[in-house]
A = this chain, B = another copy of it.
Amino acid sequence: MPMSSLTRRSLLAGSAVAALAAGAEPLTAAAPPAEKQAPGIYRYKIGTFEVTALYDGIWYRPITDTFIRNAPFAAVEQALDVAFMPHDKLETPFTTLIVNTGKRLVLLDTGTGGQIAPTAGMIADNLAAAGIAPKDVDQIVISHFHPDHINGIKDKDNALIFADAEIMVPEPEWAYWMDDATMNAAPADQKLTFLNQRRIFSDIAEQVTRYTPGKEVSPGIVSLPAPGHTPGHTVFAIHSGDASLLVLSDTAQHPAIFARHPDWQAAFDVDGDQAVATRKKLFDRAAADRMLVTGYHFPFPACGHLIKTASGYEHVPLPWQPRL
């Protein structure tokens, strides 16, 4: 096939020829296909800390033309096109972090617990592939109370998955979401979120430690208030030696949409104006200081840098390294 005739159509035509040839082929490959994905784990060092990016999968979140409150859907569709994403679903990957400080194993957010989408819920398998048992986790630190961050605390039968872990949650998240008056005043379609938070936390309230964002939640892990997405939404600065990592949580969801268009307010932001202000403040700082960052909804393994562009920010993924 000369290169000049290489088109999608000619590839398909070639495929028919190949099918014929394959039919005449007597061999069978010695190695069977694996028929499953490779483990979604990736490790990197922050000083002496070992960080493991732990992949939970992707939720293809249904969206409509009301998904972005303050931009015409045509603009959203253009952003989705450039990123090779469909128009009716927002690709929403989940990457939690395990931080091994040498003294503690800390889990930042817990994934979906397999309770949100059939294409997510891989934390258990990936934790096993990483050689970590759920009971090895000493501490869980939650960034905010959306289901994809807290559901992994418990399994579908409401039992704790990480039996020995201390659970730390932002005080202002607790105050907002666990308040019955707030729940009762919420629109009907948001009540499920409040009820889910009660399912997770009500019967373990005594075991949950509430922290004030700004506090060092674990040695070397400082929480920072980042409100807007939710009232108590929190990010984390991890530091060891002269190295640091800024954990952006949901300051921006998929960077192809929300880093490139930092003014866009998603329907799921509790306070859109505040979410945008927080995003720009943190992203400006991260870009100016060339900080290493990770985002919960950035494509796995989710770590990299941010650069400021004429119209927004661009996420520059770190290359997959062969060694730590």
Inside 8 A of A307's CB, which chain B residues have their CB? 82
A residues adjacent to B (C-beta < 8 A): 1-3, 6-8, 11-12, 14-15, 17-19, 21-22, 25, 27-43, 47, 50, 52, 55, 57-58, 82-84, 91, 93, 100-105, 119-120, 122, 129-133, 135-136, 138, 214, 216, 219-222, 224-226, 237, 239-242, 244, 246, 278, 281-282, 285, 289-291, 299-301, 304-305, 307, 316-324
Is A136 in contact with B322, judged by CB distance below 8 angstroms?
A: no
Inside 8 A of A222's CB, which chain B residues have their CB? 1, 11, 14, 18
Is B29 in contact with A101, judged by CB distance below 8 angstroms?
A: yes
- Select which of B29, B135, B225 is within 8 A of A103 by beta carbon: B29
Is A102 in contact with B28, judged by CB distance below 8 angstroms?
A: yes
Is A39 in contact with B40, judged by CB distance below 8 angstroms?
A: no
Is A322 in contact with B119, judged by CB distance below 8 angstroms?
A: yes
Copies in the complex: 2
Residue of B nearest to A290 (CB): B84
Docked Cα-Cα span, A17 to B320, in Å, equals 31
Is A242 in contact with B12, judged by CB distance below 8 angstroms?
A: yes
- Select which of B3, B104, B130 is within 8 A of A34 by beta carbon: B130
Is B285 in contact with A35, judged by CB distance below 8 angstroms?
A: no
Could you tell me the distance in whole angstroms from the C-beta of A1 to the nearest C-beta in chain B?
5
Residue of B nearest to A119 (CB): B322
Is B289 in contact with A29, judged by CB distance below 8 angstroms?
A: no
Could you tell me the distance in whole angstroms from the C-beta of A137 to the nearest C-beta in chain B?
8
Inside 8 A of A29's CB, which chain B residues have their CB? 100-105, 136, 138
Could you tell me the distance in whole angstroms from the C-beta of A187 to the nearest C-beta in chain B?
30
- Select which of B6, B37, B241, B299 is within 8 A of A317 by beta carbon: B299
Query: Knowing that A29-B136, A34-B131, A58-B322 are A-B contacts, what are 20 other residue pairs whose CB atoms are under 8 Å apart, sorted by A's residue number?
Result: A1-B222, A3-B224, A3-B282, A6-B282, A12-B239, A14-B222, A15-B220, A15-B244, A18-B221, A22-B220, A29-B105, A30-B105, A30-B138, A35-B324, A36-B323, A37-B322, A83-B316, A84-B304, A93-B319, A301-B320
Is A321 in contact with B15, judged by CB distance below 8 angstroms?
A: no
Inside 8 A of A282's CB, which chain B residues have their CB? 3, 6
Is A299 in contact with B281, judged by CB distance below 8 angstroms?
A: no
Inside 8 A of A289's CB, which chain B residues have their CB? 7-8
Docked Cα-Cα span, A222 to B16, in Å, equals 12
Is B320 in contact with A40, judged by CB distance below 8 angstroms?
A: yes
Inside 8 A of A12's CB, which chain B residues have their CB? 239, 242, 244
Is A6 in contact with B37, judged by CB distance below 8 angstroms?
A: no
**A34-B131, A105-B29, A290-B84 are known contacts. Are A55 and B240 too (CB-CB below 8 A)?**
no
Is B52 in contact with A43, judged by CB distance below 8 angstroms?
A: no
Could you tell me the distance in whole angstroms from the C-beta of A287 to the nearest C-beta in chain B?
11
Is A321 in contact with B58, judged by CB distance below 8 angstroms?
A: yes
Docked Cα-Cα span, A105 to B40, in Å, equals 24
Is B138 in contact with A324, judged by CB distance below 8 angstroms?
A: no
Residue of B nearest to A314 (CB): B82
